[in-house]
Amino acid sequence: MNKATLIETLAGKANVSKKQAEDLLDALVQTVMDTIKAGGEVTLTGFGTFSARVRKGREGINPRSKSSITIPPTKVVKFKAGKVLKDTLKESQKPPHLRPHPSQSQPRQKPQPPRRNKKIL
């Protein structure tokens, strides 16, 4: 899915115009980038967490000259998937006959036996 398709989908699901959906998406992306750049992290509960980390420097080999080079440390973006996203992907990997019906999204609970009152003498 590219940005244009995402904007169309958002506009349809949120019942807003494509321009409004594009503005919201741009604002979200800019906010995430600004927060990560400032050293923070952005957590979208259930979806995941965006953060920045420093990848340590290391020794590498120049493929052309075969000489040893030093690769400096650099900041990279890290994304850790949330539980709901992981569970959704796991569920989609199951064969259709093992997936729960959409109306059965909540697990059934075992019925509790009725409580009996003890008589105190």
Q: Return the pLDDT at 108.
A: 58
Give the residue among 63, 59, 37, 69 at the shortest CA–CA distance from 50. Answer: 37
Q: What is the mean pLDDT of the chain?
A: 86
Task: Return the minimum-mean-pLDDT range out of 4-8, 64-68, 77-81, 95-99.
Answer: 95-99
Q: Return the pLDDT at 92.
A: 78
Measured distance CA(94)–CA(92) in Å, rounded: 6
The confidence band for 120, taking pLDDT boundaries of 50, 70 and 90, is low
Residues 6+ apart with CB under 8 A from 53: 75, 76, 78
Q: Return the pLDDT at 13.
A: 92
Give the residue among 6, 11, 9 at the shortest CA–CA distance from 21. Answer: 11
- As to burial, measured by CB atoms within 10 angstroms (0-12 exposed, 13-18 middle, 19+ buried), residue 111 is exposed
Return the percentage of the chain with pLDDT > 70, whole number.
Answer: 78
Compare 22 and 115 and report the one with higher pLDDT. 22
**How many other β-carbons are positioned within 10 Å of the β-carbon of residue 20?**
14
Rounded average pLDDT over 79-92: 90
Q: Judge whether residue 110 has pLDDT over 70.
A: no
Q: Is 13 helix (H, G, I), strand (E, B) or coil?
A: helix
Q: Return the pLDDT at 59.
A: 94
Is the torsion defined by CA of 14, 17, 22, 27 positive or negative?
A: negative
Helix (H), strand (E) at residue 44: strand 42-44
